[in-house]
């Protein structure tokens, strides 16, 4: 009986260690996913800032009387805002 316990105890500890290792790997994967989501959020913020810049440039072009340039910049701003929204959605889904 004692021999069975001596053999079974290390096996039980080994199996428990495997579960602990799997749990640790799962936590690391969660950390990586969270970090990726943070990077994507930052990319979304950058796209929003670029959209704001394009809008300001469009305002300047309008003041200069350059309607074609203003329209192009406004379209660029809208595209960047859409990109930012898509990135935010992607980060939220992670």
d(CA 71, CA 45): 23
Q: 41 or 5: which carries more pLDDT confidence?
A: 41
* pLDDT on residue 20: 78
pLDDT band, very low/low/confident/very high, at 1 (cuts 50, 70, 90) = very low
Position 42 scores a pLDDT of 98
CA-based torsion, 8, 10, 14, 17: positive or negative: positive
Sequence ranges of the domains in the chain: 2-93
pLDDT in tens, 23-60: 888 999 999 999 999 999 999 999 999 999 999 999 99
């Amino acid at each position: 009986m004692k021999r069975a316990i001596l053999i079974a105890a290390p096996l039980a500890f080994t199996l428990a260690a495997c579960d602990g290792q799997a749990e640790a790997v799962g936590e690391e994967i969660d950390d990586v996913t969270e970090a990726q989501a943070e990077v994507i959020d930052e990319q979304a913020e950058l796209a929003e800032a670029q959209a704001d810049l394009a809008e300001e440039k469009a305002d300047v072009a309008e003041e200069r009387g350059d309607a074609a340039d203003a329209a192009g910049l406004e379209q660029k701003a809208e595209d960047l805002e859409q990109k930012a929204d898509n990135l935010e959605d992607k980060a939220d889904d992670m």
